[in-house]
Amino acid sequence: MKTADVLIIGGGIIGCSIALELSRAGVQVLLLERDRIGCEASGEAAGMLAPQAEGLSPGPFLDLCLKSREMFDPLQEVLKEETGIDIEYVRSGVLFLLFTEEDEILAKRMFEEQRGRGLTVEWWDRQQLLEAEPHVTPEVRGALCLPDDHQVQNARMVRALALLGARRGVQLVEGSAVTGIVRDRDRVIGVRSLTETYHAGKVVVAAGAWSGGIGQLLNQDIPIRPARGQLLSVETGGNFSRHILYSGKGYVTPWPNGEVVVGSTIEFVGFEKQITVAGIGELLTMARRLVPALASRPILRTWSGFRPWTPDELPYLGAVPGSPGLYIASGHGRNGILLAPVTGQLMAELLRDEHPSLSLDPFRLDR
């Protein structure tokens, strides 16, 4: 039997972020991953850090997203210095492209709300846009320029978080799916896998789209379902666009290696990971509409992943009601990469019995 102060179920970017933050405070952490570290949604995203492009309304969720975005610059420096892994944090900015009158109405609301909050946002007309990004379709009316929305290479980031956590004492166990929950009366004191029993003072569910299944082991409703996202990448030779190009139908994200990532569908089909003609066709149509010149470029690869989706599209963060000793950090939807740093910080504070620096009440499981 293995023991730890805190046991984390899930080796994606959320679980690894929490583990690293706890290790900094000397907490003994055991992290269980059913497959490989970062093998699911955390390694399959486009890496956008774009709360402004999402058009989030003022409130606790936007506060959470903005706080996390601010944490990436110092975090990437620490990760590079201590692991040697460059997570390719790029201050690319996002252009929210406007094609219709409805787009402009939405953009004006976003512009006013974000300006009112003191965020950086610029209104570009068609000429400004095409001068900055000549490959964008001339059918566009203009764009919102959001220079503080950035991007990161998410797969590299998960590896760096896991490596630094391990160097600071986090026990990482791959290929260990949780098959049961260990209780002492009503208190959760550990978990079982096929081959081992693990005890811990506190247990955290950070299993992404699979978190609902962990809830079933407890007879606890965790309403998270998988939202399949299909993506593809295109070889451009570099220097194709300087900004992330974002629209209501999808996005085109230039990576430093010369690839352009096109995404993403949102499909509620269970855990079916197939790449479909319809899904890829939808992405290709959107990409050609945004950037017609992409039509002549070769497709490098296609893939899909499962975002953990909640009914109100907000994450669950905090203690699980009715199950002392059990906590949850899951359901981040399409903002998991963005929210990893702040989730790690706030959950580590909570697990150390400190008052979280941002209130977690809006993200309670029983909200």
Q: What is the DSSP letter of 277?
A: H
Burial (Cβ within 10 Å: 0-12, 13-18, ≥19) of residue 210: buried
Contacts of 152 (CB under 8 A, 6+ apart): 47, 49, 72, 76, 87, 88, 89, 90, 337
Beta bridge partners of 51: none
CA distance 154 to 156: 5
Domain locations in the chain as residue ranges? 2-81+154-223+311-363, 91-149+225-309
Q: What is the DSSP string of 297-325?
A: SPEEEEEEEEEEE-TTS--EEEEPTT-TT
Average pLDDT score, the chain: 96
Token pair for 19:
């583990």
Is the pLDDT at 225 greater than 80? The verdict is yes
Assign 140 a pLDDT band (cuts: 50, 70, 90): very high
pLDDT tens, 302-331? 999 999 999 999 999 999 999 999 999 999
- 139-157 mean pLDDT: 97
What pLDDT score was predicted for residue 177? Answer: 96
CATH H superfamily, domain 2-81+154-223+311-363? FAD/NAD(P)-binding domain (3.50.50.60)
What pLDDT score was predicted for residue 43? Answer: 94
pLDDT tens, 157-183? 999 999 999 999 999 999 999 999 999
- 337-360 mean pLDDT: 98
Assign 89 a pLDDT band (cuts: 50, 70, 90): very high
How would you label 305-321 residue by residue, b for 16+ Cβ within 10 Å and e otherwise?
bbbbbbeeebbbbbbbe
| Beta carbons of 138 and 130 less than 8 angstroms apart | yes
What pLDDT score was predicted for residue 315? Answer: 98
Assign 351 a pLDDT band (cuts: 50, 70, 90): very high
Is the pLDDT at 255 greater than 80? The verdict is yes
Share of the chain above pLDDT 70, in %: 100
Q: What is the DSSP string of 2-14?
A: EEEEEEEE--SHH
pLDDT tens, 92-132? 999 999 999 999 999 999 999 999 999 999 999 999 999 99
CB atoms within 10 A of CB 273: 15
Contacts of 365 (CB under 8 A, 6+ apart): 222, 316, 318, 320, 321, 328
29-32/171-173 β-pairing: parallel
Assign 49 a pLDDT band (cuts: 50, 70, 90): very high
Distances (CA, A) of 215 to 147, 197, 257, 326: 40, 18, 40, 11
Is the pLDDT at 1 greater than 80? The verdict is no
Is the pLDDT at 224 greater than 90? The verdict is yes
Assign 52 a pLDDT band (cuts: 50, 70, 90): very high
Is the pLDDT at 63 greater than 80? The verdict is yes
| Beta carbons of 74 and 342 less than 8 angstroms apart | no
Alpha helices (runs of H) in the chain, residue ranges in sequence order: 13-24, 41-44, 60-83, 101-117, 126-132, 154-167, 211-217, 277-290, 336-351
Peptide bond just before 264 cis, omega within 30 deg: yes
| Beta carbons of 150 and 69 less than 8 angstroms apart | yes
- 12-37 mean pLDDT: 97
187-192/180-184 β-pairing: antiparallel
User: Which amino acid is located at 94 in the chain?
Assistant: V
User: Considering the entire predicted model, what is its pTM?
Assistant: 0.96
Assign 295 a pLDDT band (cuts: 50, 70, 90): very high
Q: Report the topology of domain 91-149+225-309.
A: D-Amino Acid Oxidase; Chain A, domain 2 (3.30.9)
Is the pLDDT at 332 greater than 90? The verdict is yes
What pLDDT score was predicted for residue 272? Answer: 97
What pLDDT score was predicted for residue 277? Answer: 98
Assign 154 a pLDDT band (cuts: 50, 70, 90): very high
Assign 237 a pLDDT band (cuts: 50, 70, 90): confident
- 270-293 mean pLDDT: 97
Count of helices and strands (H, E) across the chain? 9, 18
Is the pLDDT at 239 greater than 80? The verdict is no
